[in-house]
Amino acid sequence: MSAAFRAAVLTVSDRAARGDREDATGPRLRALLERFGATVTLADAVPDEREVIAAALRRLAAASDVVVTTGGTGLAPRDVTPEATRDVLDREAPGFAEEMRRRSAAGFPRAVLSRGVCGTIGRCLVLNLPGSPSGAAECLEFVASVLPHAVKVLRGGLADCADDPAAGDGTGAHHGEHA
Amino acid sequence: MSAAFRAAVLTVSDRAARGDREDATGPRLRALLERFGATVTLADAVPDEREVIAAALRRLAAASDVVVTTGGTGLAPRDVTPEATRDVLDREAPGFAEEMRRRSAAGFPRAVLSRGVCGTIGRCLVLNLPGSPSGAAECLEFVASVLPHAVKVLRGGLADCADDPAAGDGTGAHHGEHA
Amino acid sequence: MSAAFRAAVLTVSDRAARGDREDATGPRLRALLERFGATVTLADAVPDEREVIAAALRRLAAASDVVVTTGGTGLAPRDVTPEATRDVLDREAPGFAEEMRRRSAAGFPRAVLSRGVCGTIGRCLVLNLPGSPSGAAECLEFVASVLPHAVKVLRGGLADCADDPAAGDGTGAHHGEHA
């Protein structure tokens, strides 16, 4: 049902980048994305440096349909993943971040501290996820079901009927679902 | 109860602007706004071009209390309505966009893809709605009840008691409702 | 359990700044913050002037762990607190604003008009609250329980396990809660 798409996982963590400690979140996100039909690249971890993160995002976006980051979205002094991401986004897609924060906060109030942003670089969708293995996996699961559709729309091969006022609601389906 | 206000509907769609297909959403939004007390102008549809959308927004805002757009808020490569809108907003009002996305996503998960922004140009409120007739109408209905109040506050004829710390809560009503 | 933190309350209101009317919201927020373990400074009220608000925020942030503002977040022509706040923020933390608006709107639909932004200036967290005493108090209560944790993370004395992919989930607790 869901066409294959190319995903990349970028871990942002000083400790993981130095090799001081193993990245526990990246492999978990890879397994989850594969379950949703993606072929997944696990990129080398990068430190919490704005320019380094931005450069990695640009490079990964050029070869991927979806890039997810994990880490660096909190309030710690070195957390700058959202700022680095915004530096390289063409268009923001705040609905993904709002949905992940809201649903995560329902069970874990500290999720409101997460500052992640989402959006597009060219035809690639970028999602900032929190750092903890369970928090990142949970957030990704909240939006994973719409990723295959998002990828199709971004590729331009699919007129997004749900966003074209001239497309009509031919089938009577909710929001112009495709007949 | 609700004073009349002037609204404009702007359809953003390459196909509708070319006249290839009829705009199904604009007329539906007009009927809905009229039900909430507005006199409504249905503007000529514009293509998905950032500068063209921005110019139309400026022109309509100068003669309206509320401008709603429909279309161009998704992830398709040519969708740039949010970027064009942000180009001309004086102040953002993210609460409208958050509310529409959240409530829409409750029944239609793909609503998280909608990137619409809301805010003000001078004394006019601008709302980006999705493109499909049912999606746009639903989103507008989620916030329509507060539009007459928003218009009064924007006109400056009403001190917004709910946002003035010196206004007090004289009546004991929630959030300083007007006595 | 919650280490003491330093908070400041800034009332933004032309009328309160002129002394035309007493500030009813500031004292209420002070009492609430004290209940959550803060030592609180009630700053002199400032008028709805972007540069004046921005300067007050910078000054208060230099000596506080948390600064809350009240007023100037609505749609009235002179409401510019969010713009002044964004002028001086280093990093945005949209989760606080989303959470306050959403929960407030559940009982008070006009809360969607609130345009407040939240984020950090250096190691200080800044939250824009609405103006009415009950609205401001309610919004602060929605996020107050996470403030002591936010302050610890901002001070850098606590690695935020919930945002470090290399921290693991050692305890098996949700989102890497600290063992």
Place of tokens 């939004």: B29
How high is the pLDDT of residue C166? Answer: 72
Helices (H), chain C: 14-18, 25-35, 50-61, 81-88, 94-107, 133-144, 147-155
Q: Is B176 on the interface with A (CB under 8 A)?
A: no
Task: State yes or no: pLDDT of B88 exceeds 80.
Answer: yes
Task: State yes or no: pLDDT of C173 exceeds 70.
Answer: no
Lowest mean pLDDT among A126-130, B175-179, C15-19, C29-33: B175-179
Tokens, residue A64 = 């991927």
Pairing of strands A124-129, A118-121: antiparallel
The minimum CA-CA distance between A171 and chain C, rounded to whole Å, is 33
Select from B123, B150, B162 the Cβ nearest to the Cβ of C131: B162
Q: Work out the average pLDDT over B160-174.
A: 55
C-alpha to C-alpha distance for C130 and C133, rounded to whole angstroms:
8
Q: Work out the average pLDDT over B8-31.
A: 94
Per-10-residue mean pLDDT of chain A, 179 residues long, equals 82 95 92 96 97 98 98 97 98 98 96 98 98 97 96 81 62 36
In this complex, how many residue pairs, one in chain A and one in chain C, have their CB atoms less than 8 Å apart? 141
Q: Which chain C residue shows the shortest CA-CA distance from B146?
A: C110
Task: State yes or no: pLDDT of B176 exceeds 60.
Answer: no
In this complex, do B71 and A153 lie within 8 Å of one another by their Cβ atoms?
no
Q: Predicted confidence band at B171 (pLDDT cuts at 50, 70, 90)?
A: very low
Among B14, B23, B20, B21, residue whose Cα is nearest residue B43: B23
Task: Spell C25-63 as b/e; 16+ CB within 10 A means b.
Answer: bbebbbebbeebbbebbebebbebbeeebbebbeebbee
Q: Work out the average pLDDT over C149-175.
A: 68
The minimum CA-CA distance between C77 and chain B, rounded to whole Å, is 6
How high is the pLDDT of residue A176? Answer: 42
How high is the pLDDT of residue C175? Answer: 47
CA atoms within 13 A on the CB side of B110: 22
How high is the pLDDT of residue B163? Answer: 74
Handedness of CA A158, A162, A163, A167 (dihedral sign): positive
Select from B12, B110, B135 the Cβ nearest to the Cβ of A146: B110
Tokens, residue B94 = 């993210």
The minimum CA-CA distance between C174 and chain A, rounded to whole Å, is 7
Question: Mutation test of the interface with chain C: which of A9, A10, A75, choosing the one with the most C Cβ atoms within 10 A?
Answer: A75
The minimum CA-CA distance between C35 and chain B, rounded to whole Å, is 21
C-alpha to C-alpha distance for C112 and C138, rounded to whole angstroms:
14
Give A51-110 as a DSSP string: HHHHHHHHHHHTT-SEEEEES--SSSTT--HHHHHHHH-SEE-HHHHHHHHHHHHHH-GG
Q: Is B99 on the interface with C (CB under 8 A)?
A: yes
Lowest mean pLDDT among A105-109, A117-121, C123-127, C172-176: C172-176
Task: State yes or no: pLDDT of C172 exceeds 80.
Answer: no
Chain mean pLDDT for chain C:
90
Provide, as residue numbers in chain C, all residues whose Cβ is less than 8 Å from the Cβ of B127: none
In this complex, do A133 and C168 lie within 8 Å of one another by their Cβ atoms?
yes
Tokens, residue B27 = 């007329």
Task: Spell A96-124 as b/e; 16+ CB within 10 A means b.
Answer: bbbbbbbbbbeebebbbbbbbbbbbbebb
Q: Is C109 on the interface with A (CB under 8 A)?
A: no
What burial class does residue B179 get, using C-beta atoms within 10 Å of its C-beta: 0-12 exposed, 13-18 middle, 19+ buried? Answer: exposed
pLDDT in tens, C22-77: 889 999 999 999 999 999 999 999 999 999 999 999 999 999 999 999 999 999 99
Task: State yes or no: pLDDT of C169 exceeds 50.
Answer: no
Provide, as residue numbers in chain A, all residues whose Cβ is less than 8 Å from the Cβ of C149: 110, 113
In this complex, do A21 and C96 lie within 8 Å of one another by their Cβ atoms?
no
How high is the pLDDT of residue B174? Answer: 44
Select from C98, C145, C168 the Cβ nearest to the Cβ of A98: C98
C-alpha to C-alpha distance for C71 and C48, rounded to whole angstroms:
9
Could you say which DSSP state residue A140 is in? Answer: H
Q: Are B136 and B12 in contact (CB under 8 A)?
A: no
In this complex, do A132 and C175 lie within 8 Å of one another by their Cβ atoms?
yes
Q: Are A76 and C156 in contact (CB under 8 A)?
A: yes
The minimum CA-CA distance between B17 and chain C, rounded to whole Å, is 32
Q: Which chain B residue shows the shortest CA-CA distance from A171?
A: B134
C-alpha to C-alpha distance for C6 and C42, rounded to whole angstroms:
11
Task: State yes or no: pLDDT of C171 exceeds 70.
Answer: no
Select from B146, B168, B169 the Cβ nearest to the Cβ of C113: B146
In this complex, how many residue pairs, one in chain A and one in chain B, have their CB atoms less than 8 Å apart? 140
C-alpha to C-alpha distance for C172 and C178, rounded to whole angstroms:
10
- Global ipTM: 0.91
C5-167 fold: Molybdenum Cofactor Biosythetic Enzyme; Chain A (3.40.980)
Q: Work out the average pLDDT over B105-119.
A: 97
How high is the pLDDT of residue C174? Answer: 44
